Amino acid sequence: MQRRSLIKGLGGIMLTPALPFKSFATDQKPVLRVAHLTDVHLKNKWDAPARFAKCLHHVQQQPNVDFILNGGDVVFDMNKENIDTINTEWKLWHSSIKADCGLPIHYVLGNHDIWWNEDDKGQAIYGKKYAMDQLQLSSPWNSFTKNGWKFILLDSVHLDIDGTWYIGKLGDEQFAWLTNELKNTPASMPVCVLSHIPILSATLMVDDISDNSNKWEILGGDMHTDTGKIISLFYQHPNVKLCLSGHIHLRDKVVYNNVTYICNGAVSGAWWEGNKRETAPGYGLIDFYADGSFTEQYVNY
């Protein structure tokens, strides 16, 4: 049938708007409400402490928030700073949380939370240890359950192949742990995964490619380099429903193989200097339901 005849034959059907996708039953009540705050980049500059306090107050004014998932990049930048600056930023973090946050917080590490100054490799707190001690993490990855949902918190930031910068991946040990964790989770229990670097995101194709190129370039530090491997694992476990990340400071939502991947912008926006492209400073707010569904929104505080 020719296209024009087909459209004419379908008539009003073609004029009916597509209904939005709903991943929930409207007669349910959520079993959990969680705020996802990522990429705070706290520093005593740009009025960041007061603006972060405003964000925390905004979160706690939302009804029935059970806890916060913090997606990493807690402080502005540990990568190349000296120890005095690092100590100052973390003291500011702790004082801000003590003064302005009454909710439990679960953390993953971001690339800016790791001390990778090449001149300081011999010190005991080099690498992830300092931030883990500050956040009281016994392991850079872990899991917990709450009200029928399992939350898996991943360590997505590792040294690159040249040993000087970072790359997004799990590594063999953590991937084996994740495989075992999903295997030992009841198939009826829905799973939410939190990482700093996105496992899968469309934000990396927002910028135009250059005039002298015919392809996008996605760096290993911008998205997981083991994406295919992780997605294949999730495909074996249909109870994996939602993956949350940050890092890019842009907001997007990708649904692939019935798993929703959300990159939830940044509390700091463009590092406390306005919007990052079209994404304003904000946080994610997710309602989780007993049947494994959820609703979510990005809140500009």
CATH number, position 166 = 3.60.21.10
Closest CA to 201 of 71, 294, 70: 71
| pTM of the predicted protein model | 0.89
- Check residue 38 and report its DSSP letter: -
Q: Could you say which residues of the chain have pLDDT below 50?
A: 1-22, 24-25
Q: Which domain holds residue 127?
A: 39-204+215-299
State the pLDDT at residue 160.
87
In a domain, 53, yes or no: yes
State the pLDDT at residue 122.
63
Question: Tens of pLDDT along 147-198?
Answer: 999 999 999 999 888 877 899 999 999 999 999 999 999 999 999 999 999 9
The packing angle between helices 48-61 and 83-100, to 10°, is: 30
How far apart are the C-alpha atoms of 81 and 198, rounded to whole Å?
25
In a domain, 22, yes or no: no
Number of domains within the chain? 1
SS3 154: coil
State the pLDDT at residue 211.
87
State the pLDDT at residue 20.
35
How far apart are the C-alpha atoms of 246 and 227, rounded to whole Å?
16
In a domain, 161, yes or no: yes
SS3 1: coil
State the pLDDT at residue 8.
36
In a domain, 8, yes or no: no
In a domain, 2, yes or no: no
State the pLDDT at residue 12.
36
Closest CA to 171 of 163, 184, 160: 160
Question: What is the secondary structure of 162-178 as a DSSP string?
Answer: TSSSEEE---HHHHHHH
In a domain, 18, yes or no: no
Contact in structure between 244 and 262 (CB atoms under 8 Å): yes
In a domain, 7, yes or no: no
Closest CA to 49 of 31, 83, 75: 75
